[in-house]
Structure 1
Amino acid sequence: MPYFKFHNIKITGVATSIPSHVVKTDDRTDVWGKEYIEKFKAAVGIEQIHTTAEHQTASDLCYDAAERLILHKNIKREEIGAVLFVGFSTDYWRPSNACILQYRLGLSQDCVAYDLRLACSATPYGLQAACSMMQTSDIKKVLLLIGEMSSQSTYQGDSTALLFGDAGSAILLEKTEEENFIEEMLCSDGSGFKAIIVPAGGFRNPDATHEVFTLANGSKNTLYNTWLNGADVFAFSISAVPKTTKAFFEKTGSKVDDYDCFPIHQANKAICLKIAKKLGIPLERMPLVIDKYGNTTATSLILALCDTYGKDNSNVELNCLIQAFGIGLSWGVASARINTNDILPITETDNIFTEGIVNTPADIGIV
């Protein structure tokens, strides 16, 4: 398994922003019936999700999180040498969200900016890209922005509409003189690409039918929305993640007792509990907040950190083991130290980048 170790780079800030609009799981009984809703809540653990408003995007949420982080840390914007956006929820087919965020955040033109297309495994993969850049350059500070609005790719007649919420996170990485390192293992299995997929709308199937399909279980969906094979994802998650985590322990000479916190992708309650049981992770060290926010895919484990420690000013250094897995299929494990004072509380925002709304050629500057 590919192993990475980055020296003298540290996570010095974490923030998450969510949209203010809330959808309660119980409010969907008119579509699914009370019995199904109760079973869903018991198995998956979701009581509500937050969803974006019209014209509000993942980059709006990331902007809010990054802006708060810059102000909280009193960072000079010209010192940020790169901004990376990780997620599938881009404002446009082109250009990248990262370039738009570089502009909105007032960062220097001497700033690297690009997107990575990953969802649930965004944090370890994003860390690898950011740390690799820092380790081989003179860049001292990087903003890693992770955002998704997965609720907008679901069909309301499909159970995924109950599952996915929206959020945006910002991670500040800095070079440090103190001895500190980030370690990772990353994996992928493209044979499972159909397990979580939006089949139509890209260049492979640009003109697919818009027919609404009704499945044997009564759920409905279109090829332009998210399809999730729950059984396949469950089997993959509870097998691949413990296996890779054990390999990580062996490679790094560490064990469960060496870590204070296990931020894990909030896929669903059952998957998280199963992984914890297989690895012997005490549940009090695995933040689970899926009940309040749903599965926010790329951002979910950072959101869990912010919800759990965002109001903790104890100045405690947490040794964290990050576990992320999902679409691709892709997954990864990473260890990093984060001070509780550097974890900001979650903020709700209705922020919208109105300059980015394009309805006519005049909005682009072409008449």
Structure 2
Amino acid sequence: MKGSHILSTGSAVPNISIDNVSLSKTLNTSDEWISTRTGIKQRRILGKSQSITDLAAEASNKALSNGLLQATDIDLIILATSSQHDLFGSASKLQAIIGAKNAIAFDITAACSGFVIALATATQFIETGTYKNVLVVGADILSRWVDWSDRRTCILFGDGAGAAIVQTDTGNKNDILSFQLNTNGLASNHLSIPYRKNYSNTGSIHYSSGRYSYLTMNGKEVYKFAVSQVPESIKKCLEKADICTKDISWLLLHQANQRILETVALKLGIPSHKIISNIQYYGNTSAASIPLALDEAFQSGHICNGDIIVIAGFGAGLTWGTTIIKWNVIE
């Protein structure tokens, strides 16, 4: 088995910023109401003339530049998204935009857990020797799937993209120490973008057509799910890697709600200063939230050589997953 190394990261967010004060002008809400319940102060929204592949390409190109690689060095592209530009997938379009002509590309749809699952998938290809350089991207533009008159959902979501390059470690040393992935489809109705059918007929031919509705969420149930299941997932992942909570340098959770981040840390006995959080600036960016926060932490120097980072995603499906990485610089 080969070792897997996270070479570099990159991220991108739209230029348009909408703060809580602006939302309060059209919704029955306020900056205090939103920030005290969620920790969110503003969110970024993609412009009308742009698509999700534009954001994903910007994040990918930054990761390539930071890793001193060319797009033609990439063997595989995995795009984690639930808001594709094309229902058949957007990874192939991303491959074309960045010029990664040697890469196979496919999408993973797992909402807010998407990046963790994509990272787990990439690691399997690396460790079996199938591919050497894998570009893993998490990108979502859920601002286009929320009802902007519904304060229960529209205040939460923003758009963004983050990317990481995973490659074979020549010393067979693994940066990615363990995974723990779970799904509970029986609770999928708590967070979804449902498809609504319309039935029609033309003569003797009966057919159905329809469209996707706005994003719907049972906030209380999602909160209970996150604060109960995520700590257990992290504990199992730590046990697999034979690591104690005191060895954790940083806790990076999907940026859904600041209260969730703090509650999970409290249940695990992890001090608040070890929580990586940027939710106040971007809101919930779904599959982009973890790689976006990871890239900012790397670029700011918060994450240092040898740091152990616990990463956990959770969301629609319901899906949740944890991975533990050890940040090793190239020697």
TM-score past 0.5 threshold: yes
2:147 alignment partner in structure 1: 155
The question of whether the paired residues in 1 share the 8 Å contact of 2:253 and 2:313 is answered with: yes
SS in 1 for 2:327: strand
Which residue pairs with 2:74 in the alignment?
80
1:146 to 135, 138, 146: 138
**1:130 is matched with which residue?**
122
SS of corresponding position for 2:87: coil
TM-score under structure 1 length normalisation: 0.81
Alignment of 1:106-117 (within 5 A): 106-108=99-101, 110-117=102-109
Q: CA deviation digits over 1:67-98, x for unaligned, max 9?
A: 1221222213332110111111111123x211
Cα distance in 2, alignment partners of residues 313 and 246 from structure 1: 24
Q: Secondary structure at the match of 2:284?
A: coil
Structure 2 CA distance, aligned partners of 1:255 and 1:241? 16
Tell me if structure 1 keeps the 8 A contact 2:11–2:63: no
Query: How much has 1:308 moved relative to structure 2?
Result: 3.2
Task: Give the % identical residues.
Answer: 25
Q: Which residue in the other structure is 1:30 paired with?
A: 25
Q: Is the 8 A contact 2:3 2:126 kept in 1?
A: no
Maintained 8 Å contact 1:10/1:336: no
Please say if residues 237 and 271 of structure 1, whose CA atoms lie closer than 8 Å, have aligned partners that are also in contact.
yes
Structure 2: 5+ residue stretches without partners? 200-207
Deviations 1:261-311 (A, max 9, x none): 111101101111110110111111111111111111111122222333323
Distance in 1 between residues matched to 2:323 and 2:103, nearest whole Å: 26
Which of 35, 39, 51 is matched with 2:33 structurally? 39
Shift of 1:257: 1.6
Is 1:64 equivalent to 2:58 in the alignment?
yes
Do the aligned residues in 1 keep the contact of 2:81 with 2:140 (CA within 8 Å)? yes
Q: Report the equivalent of 1:16.
A: 11
> 274-283 vs 299-308, which deviates more?
299-308
Q: Are 1:207 and 2:210 matched, yes or no?
A: yes
Residue aligning to 1:294: 283
Separation in 1, partners of 2:198, 2:327:
41
- Which residue number corresponds to residue 168 of structure 1? 161
Equivalent AA in structure 1 for residue 5 of structure 2: K
- Cα 1:55–1:169, aligned 2, differ >3 Å: closer, same or farther? same
C-alpha change, 1:243 and 1:169, in structure 2 (3 Å) is same
In the TM superposition, what whole-angstrom CA distance separates every residue of 1:188-241 from its partner, at most 9, and x where no partner exists? 000111111111368998437xxxxxxxxxxxxxx7110010011001001111
Deviates more, 1:313-322 or 1:133-142: 313-322
Partners of 2:263 and 2:307 in 1: how far apart? 23
**Which one-letter code corresponds to 2:45 in the other structure?**
T
1:15-72 Cα offsets, whole Å, 9 max, x none, are 11000000011112223335x5422211111110000000312221110011122122
Confirm whether residue 255 of structure 1 aligns to residue 247 of structure 2: no
Query: RMSD of the TM alignment (CA)?
Result: 2.2
Q: Please state whether the residue corresponding to 2:11 is helix, strand or coil.
A: strand
**Contact 1:86 1:145 (C-alpha < 8 Å) held by counterparts:** yes
1:171, 1:201 → 2: CA distance? 36
Task: Report how many residues are paired.
Answer: 319
Q: Is the 8 A contact 1:314 1:340 kept in 2?
A: no
